[in-house]
Amino acid sequence: MGAIQERMADVARYRAEGTAREDFDEFWSRTLERVVAKPLHDRRESVATFMQGVDAERVQFEGYDDTPLHGWYLVPKGTERQGRKHACLVIYQGYQCHRGNPENYAIWLQMGYAVFAVDTRGQTGETGNHLSSARGTIKGWMTQGVLEPENFYGLAMTIDAWKALQWVSAQPEIDAERIGVYGTSQGGGLALQMAALSEVPRVAVANVPNLCHLEFALMNSTGSVSEIAEFVARTPGALEQVLTTLSYFDNLNLAEKIKVPVLYSAGFKDLICWPETIAAAYNRNPAAGKELLLYPFMGHEEGPDEHRLKAYAFLREHLRP
């Protein structure tokens, strides 16, 4: 076996012990029970685009708190007149990215999907962040409230993503039995969380997903998790509190809750979402229909054309657009 094949084999079988605390399941049951009935206070506003045959709307809704969250809701024209409902992709964004323009999603619409592309609170775009913070943070968003899971920015981000699924599954144009989640990096991590925590998605595509095997990432990642590493470097006495908080949001632990098919990808030149972190989460996922695609010469990116075609086929198999 050559060096490349050996490395691929090592990553594919990489496993890590779970870090879930004793109240892990109770934490998520209590949290979701608290937010499920929270009003969305949603608004839909038609917008013009350069695309033909698409009804485009700017959506505003509330998730974890009263922060107005924004998304593009894009549906092929004539849905109601044709008496049919559409399969839908909910698309989550990478760290410090936003949803961009409606035209960015034309390829999905051409394939027959409706799209709900949502911002992440605070991370550029139109969406702010009303979450309060009892102490200062490091750089971006990942250390806000990191000493307590109930006050952690990551909790608000996760619940926002969960409420986006609640919103879209209730829309009259959408077939609630054919909704998938899609994302890259942070967006891929959120897609995995939603596959674990929500009954809405029927399939997930997680390209180089973040929020996996967070203790490993804390030591090695050059991405958003490095903000948390810097926080611990400055306050080393807080390490155990930080690890406890992260354990509730780690896809290593959430993986065991997944029941739907998931397509993962990992690049061996990725220093943000190391392939070991992704493989660790993948190998704890008990669901049928999962697949991990390994790319020895890929860095931190959505993937080459070959990967995109595989993702298209994977979604088509499970959503039938």
Question: Which domains, and CATH codes, for the chain?
Answer: 3-319 (3.40.50.1820)
Q: What is the pLDDT of residues 98-140, one digit of tens each?
A: 999 999 999 999 999 999 999 999 998 899 999 888 887 888 8
Least confident of 120-134, 168-182, 266-280: 120-134
Sign of the Cα torsion 176, 284, 244, 152 reads negative
The per-residue pLDDT for range 61-81, each reduced to its tens digit, is 999 999 999 999 999 987 555
CA dist., res. 31 & res. 299, Å (int): 35
Q: Could you read off the pLDDT of 155-165 as tens digits, one per residue?
A: 999 999 999 99
pLDDT at res. 67: 97
Mean pLDDT of 275-300: 97
Order of strands across the sheet with 203-207?
43-46, 54-62, 68-76, 114-118, 86-92, 174-184, 203-207, 262-267, 291-295
Q: Is there a contact between 24 and 247 (Cβ–Cβ < 8 Å)?
A: yes
**Positions marked active-site:** 185, 270, 300
Which residue matches tokens 């997930």?
A: 204
Structure confidence at residue 321 (pLDDT) = 84
Q: Provide the percentage of residues in the chain whose pLDDT is more than 90.
A: 93
Amino acid 136: pLDDT: 76
Alpha-carbon torsion angle 193, 195, 200, 203, nearest 10: 140
Of 256, 258, 250, which is closest to residue 194 (Cα–Cα)? 258
Q: How many CB atoms neighbour CB 194 within 10 A?
A: 27
Are 212 and 229 spatial neighbours (Cβ–Cβ below 8 Å)?
A: no
Consecutive H or E run containing 89? strand 86-92
CB 294 within 8 A of CB 276: no
pLDDT band at 83; cut points 50, 70, 90: low
Count the alpha carbons within 13 Å of 321 in the hemisphere toward its beta carbon. Answer: 20
User: Tell me: the pLDDT tens digits for 192-251?
Assistant: 999 999 999 999 999 999 999 999 999 999 999 999 999 999 999 999 999 999 999 999
Regarding beta strands 114-118 and 86-92, do their DSSP bridges make them parallel or antiparallel, or are they unpaired? parallel
Q: Judge whether residue 303 has pLDDT over 60.
A: yes
pLDDT (average), residues 280-303? 97
Mean predicted lDDT score pLDDT of the chain: 96
For the whole model, what pTM was predicted? 0.97
For range 303-315, the mean pLDDT:
97
Distance CA 304, CA 294 (A): 12
Between CA 281 and CA 190 the distance in angstroms is 13
DSSP state of 81: T
What is the reported pLDDT for 80? 55
The reported pLDDT for the residue numbered 307 is 97
Q: What is the token pair recorded at 32? A: 């979701």
For the residues 267-279, what does the mean pLDDT come to?
A: 98
Q: How far apart are CA 45 and CA 62, in angstroms?
A: 15
Q: What is the pLDDT of residue 134?
A: 80
Statement: residue 58 has pLDDT above 80 = yes
pLDDT of residue 238: 97
Straight-line distance from the first to the last Cα atom of the chain, in angstroms, rounded to the nearest whole number: 41
Task: Please check whether residue 268 is in contact with residue 298, taking contact to mean a CB–CB distance below 8 angstroms.
Answer: yes
Would you state the pLDDT for residue 232?
A: 97
Q: Measured between alpha carbons, how far is 274 from 210 in angstroms, rounded to an integer? A: 9
Question: How much is the pLDDT for 254?
Answer: 98
CA angle 208, 23, 206 (to 5 degrees): 15
* 152 backbone dihedrals φ, ψ, rounded to 5°: -75, 140
The whole-number pLDDT of residue 79 equals 57
How does residue 82 score in pLDDT terms, banded at 50, 70 and 90?
low
CB 298 within 8 A of CB 267: yes
